[in-house]
Structure 1
């Protein structure tokens, strides 16, 4: 196809306010992904928007496989709390309460 440009599993975006550290979640509009590198605010950063990632989570939550996972942009963690947060994927591993991280399969976009 002559109009094909790339797979799209990762995309460059401007780093949000405060910048990002490699491995951080990044939400720009409706595009969510994990930063590949450190970047200062406004610098271009490649984010992976598809795949399974170990992410920081709300510690006081237990996750089950298949649970919807949302991005809490205020606390910069993944959560199963829908209210006020953006859907980013599903849990692909159980996570205990308490625990610092959980496995998330990203959707590619947030809703």
Structure 2
């Protein structure tokens, strides 16, 4: 297939304002991923868009295994998504699934 570029598990993009820390969750445009390395603003960095990662979560959030979660890019943590009846998720929040029950840390799978 002559128009194939690459698998989508790792996408290389420019680091956003503030740069990135290796292993940190990030939203760039409409894409959520995990930074593969620390990068300064504007540097090209690969972000992982699939996999299971340990990420911080809102301490008061109670999240069961398999539950949908949201990444709050401003707070840099996982939280419970807004209800379906409320407004749509802001661009700074994206959804994923909890890998296992999350009493302390969250485990994210996309």
Q: TM bucket by the smaller chain? A: 0.7 to 0.9
* Correspondence 1:57-76 to 2 at 5 A: 57-76=57-76
Looking at structure 2, the residues matched to 32 and 14 of structure 1 have their Cα atoms a distance apart, in angstroms, of 13
Q: Which runs of 5+ in 1 are unaligned?
A: 107-111
Looking at structure 2, the residues matched to 3 and 92 of structure 1 have their Cα atoms a distance apart, in angstroms, of 34
- Aligned residue pairs, count: 103
Is 1:38 the equivalent of 2:45?
Answer: no
Q: What CA deviation, in whole Å up to 9, does each residue of 1:71-100 have, x standing for no partner?
A: 11111111113264523311110011xx2x
Q: Which runs of 4+ in 1 moved over 6 A?
A: none
Equivalent in 76, 94, 102 of residue 106 of structure 2: 102
Q: How far apart are 1:56 and its partner, in Å?
A: 1.0
Looking at structure 2, the residues matched to 8 and 76 of structure 1 have their Cα atoms a distance apart, in angstroms, of 23
Aligned partners of 1:68 and 1:87 also within 8 Å: no
Root mean square deviation of aligned Cα: 1.4
Q: Which runs of 5+ in 2 are unaligned?
A: 83-88
Looking at structure 2, the residues matched to 16 and 6 of structure 1 have their Cα atoms a distance apart, in angstroms, of 22
Aligned partners of 1:70 and 1:80 also within 8 Å: yes
Larger mean Cα displacement after TM superposition, 81-90 or 15-24:
81-90
User: What TM-score, normalized to structure 2?
Assistant: 0.85
